[in-house]
Amino acid sequence: MDENFHKLIRLADTISMREMDRHAIEDLGIPGVVLMENAARSVADWLVENKLKNEPDSRIVICCGKGNNGGDGFAIARLLANRGYDIYVVDAGDAKKGDARKNQLLWEQFGESTSFPDANATRRIEEADVLIDAIFGIGMEQSIEGAYREWIEIFNSNKTALRVAVDIPSGVSTDESQIFGVAARCQHTITFQTGKSGCFQYPGVLYSGQVHIADISIPEYWPEIIPVKEAETEFYGNKQNPFTYLLTAEFVNDLIPVRLPDAHKGSSGHLLTVCGSSGMGGAASLASLGALKSGAGLVSACVPNELLDHLPGQAPEIMTVSPHNAPEYFSEEHADFVEQLASVHNAVVLGCGLGVHSQTAKFVQHLTKLLHATLLIDADGLNNLDEESLQERIGSTIITPHPRELSRLCGKSVTEIQENRIATVRRLSQEWNVVLLLKGAHTLIGSPDGKIYINPTGNSALATAGSGDVLSGFIGGFLAQGMSPLHATLTGAYLHGLAAECFTQKTNSNYMVASDLFEGLILARNKIKN
C-alpha cells in the first residue's frame, strides 16, 4: 500500500464492518452496549451542536427498528431526553434481543413511544422538526414492503424537518448503494467508525446527504483476509484485501508530480496518442491537449492521414505522425508501425475517436496484444476490443469504459453492472489484470489487487461530448511523467471531476464544453494545494 494511504478514507461493506464489530466485542472484550452508547452519543452530540443548540424547542421524533440500529435510536432518545429536549419515539414493536432490547427497556423509563402503524405515530412524524432514521442500518438486502414502506414514505413526506440517518439511510444497500424499493431520504448521515460504501455511490448518495464519520472507539482492525461465504466469492474476488477507499484531496495532492528546477521537456515524459478517424479529429485533439495540460513534456498524436495537419492547427504544441496508406482510419496493417513508434514513448493512449470499423477492430486487437508499453484504452478502443485480446495482453493496462462499453466487453447487461458496480469492477480488474475505471457518478477505479477506489469529485456538467477524451489525456499525461498506472488513474479521475466542479462554480453554470476542463484543471490544482 502507498505510504500516504492513511490520507484516504477507508470504507466498509457489510461483511468487513461486522468483522470489525466482532473483533471489538469478542476478541477485545469491549461490550456491545458500550459501542452502542458511543454511537448514540456521537449522534446526540452532533444534533445538539448543529441544530438543537440554536433551536432548543425543536420537536424530535426518532424512528427505531427492531435491530441494533433501533437500539442506537433508543439510546439517542435517552441521551437527548437527559439534556431536556422534547423527544418522541416511533418504534416497530419490541426490539429483537440483546443490546437493542436493553436500550428499549431503558427508554421506557424516560419517555413516550408509539409503535408504527398508529395514527399518533403518523401525526408525530408529520409534525416533527427533527426526524432521526434508526429503522434498519447496515446489512439490509431485501425489498421494503408493507408497514415499513409506509413508515419510510411518511418519514420522507415531511419536507421541512431536518432528517438524519443513523449509520446509513434505511433502504440503502451498504455494499452497492441500491435502493430496496424505498429508502429514507436524509440531509445528513452520521455513520460509525468508518464510511459505508453505499453512501458514496449513486443512487445511495442522494439519500445520504452529507456524511459525517463518528469515532465510536472500535479499534482499527482491517485484516488482510476476511472469511467469506461461498455465496459472496464473486463480490470479493480472490478474498484478498476486499477494501474500498474514498479518494481525498490530500492523498491526490501528494501524488501529483513536482517538476524539478532543471526539468526539460524530455524529462517530463513523451506520450503517444493513437486516436482519431475521419470526422473525429476533435477527440484526438482533446486527448492530446489534455495530456499536455496535465504536465506531459511532449505529446505525439498518431492519426490517419486526413488528420495529419488538423491537430497542429487546433493546438500547435501537438506533434503528429501518420502511417502510410491510412487515409481515414486505422487498419490491421498499421499495427506494426504504431508498435515501433510506441517503443520510444513512455505510454500510449489508444481509442479516442478511432471509429468502429471491422479493420479498425483488427488493428486494436492486434495492437493490444503487441504493445509492451503502458497502454490506456478508451472509447472506440474499447468498442473495437475483445476480451480475449485484453486477457492476452502482456504490458500494464488501463481501461476506462462507461457501463455500456463494459457491458459489451464482459457480457453482462448494463443493469447488472450498475446494480453491482463495486463487485463488477473488483472482479474484472483482478480477472483481466488491469486498472479499470468505470465511468459514472461517482467514478470507480479498481486495481488488480482487488482494491476499489471511489472518486467523489465531478458533477453533471461532465455529461458533454469530449469529456472522456480529456480524462484519457489527463491520465495519459500523468503516465508519461512516470506515475504508476493506478496512481495516474486516481489522480486523473480526481482532478478531472474537480476541474468540472471548479469551472462550473466559477461560471455559476451547470454546463460547459469539454475544453473548459483545461481552465478547470488549473483551478483544481490550485484548490487541492490549499
What are the residue ranges spanned by the domains of the chain? 5-236, 256-529
The CA distance from 390 to 382, in Å, is 10
Fold of 256-529: UDP-N-acetylmuramoyl-L-alanine:D-glutamate ligase (3.40.1190)
pLDDT at 529: 87
Whether the Cβ atoms of residue 327 and residue 506 lie closer than 8 Å to each other: no
pLDDT at 20: 87
The CA distance from 348 to 338, in Å, is 10
Nearest 5°: CA angle at 446, between 355 and 362?
25
First-last CA distance in the chain: 25
Nearest 5°: CA angle at 271, between 266 and 277?
145
Whether the Cβ atoms of residue 319 and residue 341 lie closer than 8 Å to each other: no
* DSSP string across 139-188: T--S---HHHHHHHHHHHH--SSEEEEESS-TTB-TTT--B-S-----SE
For residue 119, the number of C-alpha atoms closer than 13 Å in the C-beta half-sphere is: 0
**Cell numbers given for 508:** 455559476
Whether the Cβ atoms of residue 483 and residue 257 lie closer than 8 Å to each other: yes
The residue with cell 468502429 is 356
Q: Record the pTM.
A: 0.92
pLDDT at 51: 96
Residues 6 or more apart in contact with residue 358 via CB below 8 angstroms: none
Per-residue pLDDT of the chain (530 residues; tens, 9 = 90+): 466 778 999 998 888 888 889 889 999 999 999 999 999 999 999 999 999 999 999 999 999 999 999 999 999 999 999 999 999 999 999 888 899 999 999 999 999 899 999 999 999 999 999 999 999 999 888 899 999 999 999 999 999 999 999 999 999 999 998 999 999 999 999 999 999 999 999 999 999 999 999 999 888 766 554 555 444 445 444 444 468 999 999 999 999 998 888 888 888 999 999 999 999 999 999 999 999 999 999 999 999 999 998 887 778 999 999 998 999 999 999 999 999 999 999 999 999 999 999 999 999 999 999 999 999 999 999 999 999 999 999 999 999 999 999 999 999 999 999 999 999 999 999 999 999 999 998 999 999 998 999 999 999 999 999 999 999 999 999 999 999 999 999 999 999 999 999 999 999 999 999 999 999 999 999 999 87
The CA distance from 413 to 425, in Å, is 14
The CA distance from 74 to 64, in Å, is 7
Is residue 125 packed enough to be buried (19+ CB in 10 Å), middle (13-18) or exposed (0-12)? Answer: buried
pLDDT at 13: 86
Cis previous bond, 310, omega within 30: no
Fold of 5-236: Rossmann fold (3.40.50)
* DSSP string across 75-114: HHHHHHHHTT-EEEEEE-SS--SHHHHHHHHHHTTT--EE
What is the Cα gyration radius of the chain? Answer: 26
pLDDT at 222: 65
DSSP 49: I
Helix (H) or strand (E) segment spanning residue 61:
strand 59-64
pLDDT at 147: 96
